[in-house]
Amino acid sequence: MIAACRPAPSAGASRSAAAVRLAQPIPGSRAAEAVRLAQRFVYADTAGDLDLLDSIYAPKEDMTYCETGFDSYDVISSVSIDPPLARGDTIIVPLVYDVLGYARSDPGVGHFSAAHSIERDSLVGGPDSTGRFRFSCWLQVVPNHMTAHRMSAKWVPDLDSTSRAAWNAVNKHPPN
C-alpha cells in the first residue's frame, strides 16, 4: 500500500490510493495510538534504527522479522503525518515526505543526486494476534529515509565532488 509520487506507480499503488480515498476518519484513542506508532516509525526510519522498526512492523505468520532492504536513501527536509483513516479494523496513516534527493554509498565514497519530489506513503496496520496495534510488514513503507541533518553529519564528508556540489545546492540548513 505504498502510494508514491514517483515515475509510473504500479497498479497496486493505484489500488492503495483508492483504498485511502474510501477510508473514514477515526476518532479518539485508536487514532492517537496509530499516530504515536507512526511517530516512532518516522524516528526509526530517519535514524536508521532497524531494531526499533522490528517492534513497529508485524511480520507475516511465517516470518520472524520483517525484511527491509534498499539500495539508496531518500534524503528528506521534512515529513508530516496526516490524520489516520480507518477501513474496518485496518488503520491507514498517510505520510508525506519532502525529498531533496537520493544518496547511496560505494566503499569509501558517497554519492548524492538532487531530485526534489513529494513522496506520499501510507503505513497500514491493525491489531496483531495479541491485540497490539502494529503496522503490516507486507504493506510496509520502505525505511530508507534520511534527514538532511543526518546527511550533513554522516555522509557529506565522504561525498565525491559532483555529489558534494549537488548537496550544497539543495541543503538550506548546513550544520554549524
Confidence of residue 61 (pLDDT cuts 50, 70, 90): low
Which among 80, 79, 81, 86 is positioned nearest to 28, based on CA atoms?
Answer: 86
- Tell me, what's the pLDDT at 57? 74
More confident residue, 105 or 59: 105
Residues 6+ apart with CB under 8 A from 124: 1, 90, 91, 92, 93, 135, 136, 139
Give the integer Cα–Cα distance in Å for 144 and 173: 21
Q: Per the domain annotation, does 6 fall within a domain?
A: no
Question: Is 2 within the bounds of a domain?
Answer: no
Q: What is the CATH number of the domain that holds 94?
A: 3.10.450
Q: Is 39 helix (H, G, I), strand (E, B) or coil?
A: helix
Task: Specify if 4 maps to a domain.
Answer: no
In a domain, 176, yes or no: no
pLDDT in the model for residue 132: 81
Residue 175 lies in a domain: no
User: What is the per-residue pLDDT across 157-166, written as a single tens digit (0 to 9) for each?
Assistant: 999 999 999 9
- For residue 137, tell me if it sits in a domain: yes
Number of domains in the chain: 1
Banded pLDDT at 28 (limits 50, 70, 90): confident
150 assigned to some structural domain? yes
- Domain annotation covers residue 104: yes
Task: Report residue 52 as a C-alpha cell.
Answer: 526499533
- What residues does 165 pair with on adjacent strands? none
Domain of 158? 11-170
- pLDDT of res. 42: 93
pTM: 0.78
What's the mean pLDDT in 102-131? Answer: 90
CB < 8 Å & 24+ apart, contacts of 163-171: 163/110, 163/111, 163/112, 163/113, 164/112, 166/101, 166/112, 166/113, 166/114, 167/101, 167/112, 167/114, 169/114, 170/100, 170/101, 170/114, 170/116, 171/100
